[in-house]
C-alpha cells in the first residue's frame, strides 16, 4: 500500500490564517511607526524622543539628589538647608549641556510628624518638541533626609 504525502486542506487553511495575522500585525506596526502627516514627527520617533527626555530628566534629578545626600544635616538644625550656591534653581538653558531642561529643589521640614527629617523634592522640567510645537513636561523625585547625630 502506498502512503500519500502532503498537507490536508485544513492544515493549509490554518497556516494561511496564522500567516495573515502575522502579516497584518507587521503592517499595522509599520503604519503606526511611519504614520503621520508628511514633515511631522512619526509616532515611533515621538515615543523615542519622549523617552530620551524623560530619562535625561530623571538622570538630572537623581544627580542632584545624590549631591544633596552629602550635605551635612545634624540633629538640632531646624531644617535641612541645601547650600544656595550649589543648589540654586536652574532655569531653562542654564544647565551646561542640557539647554531644554531646568531644575529646582524644594525642602519640606518634618514631614509625617517625624522630627529631624526633611522631604527633599527635585523637580526637572523640560521642553519636549512635538509635531504640534512644544510641550512643557516635568518630573519630581522625592527623598527623605534624616539628621545625623
The pLDDT score that the predictor gives to residue 109 is 77
Residue 116 confidence class, pLDDT cut points 50, 70, 90: confident
Q: Per-residue pLDDT for 16 more than 90?
A: yes
Name which residue leads in pLDDT, 77 or 101. Answer: 101
The pLDDT tens digits of the residues spanning 132-142 come to 777 889 999 99
Name 82's Cβ contacts closer than 8 Å, sequence gap at least 6: 68, 71, 105, 107, 120
Name 17's Cβ contacts closer than 8 Å, sequence gap at least 6: none
Q: By the 8 A CB rule, do 50 and 131 touch?
A: no
| Cell 538630572 -> residue | 60
Rounded distance between C-alpha atoms, residue 145 and residue 73, angstroms? 8
The pLDDT tens digits of the residues spanning 26-84 come to 877 766 555 544 445 566 677 788 889 999 999 999 998 888 888 777 676 666 777 67
Amino acid at each position: 500500500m502506498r502512503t500519500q504525502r502532503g498537507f490536508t486542506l485544513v492544515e493549509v487553511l490554518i497556516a494561511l490564517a496564522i500567516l495573515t495575522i502575522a502579516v497584518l500585525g507587521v503592517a499595522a506596526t509599520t503604519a503606526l511607526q511611519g504614520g503621520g502627516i508628511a514633515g511631522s514627527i512619526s509616532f515611533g520617533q515621538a515615543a523615542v524622543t519622549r523617552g530620551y527626555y524623560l530619562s535625561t530628566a530623571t538622570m538630572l534629578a537623581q544627580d542632584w539628589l545624590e549631591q544633596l545626600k552629602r550635605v551635612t544635616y545634624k540633629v538640632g538644625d531646624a531644617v535641612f538647608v541645601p547650600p544656595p550656591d550649589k543648589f540654586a534653581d536652574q532655569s531653562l538653558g542654564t544647565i551646561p549641556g542640557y539647554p531644554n531642561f531646568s531644575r529646582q529643589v524644594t525642602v519640606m521640614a518634618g514631614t509625617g510628624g517625624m522630627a529631624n527629617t526633611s522631604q527633599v523634592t527635585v523637580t526637572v522640567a523640560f521642553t519636549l518638541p512635538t509635531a504640534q510645537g512644544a510641550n512643557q513636561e516635568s518630573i519630581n523625585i522625592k527623598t527623605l533626609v534624616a539628621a545625623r547625630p
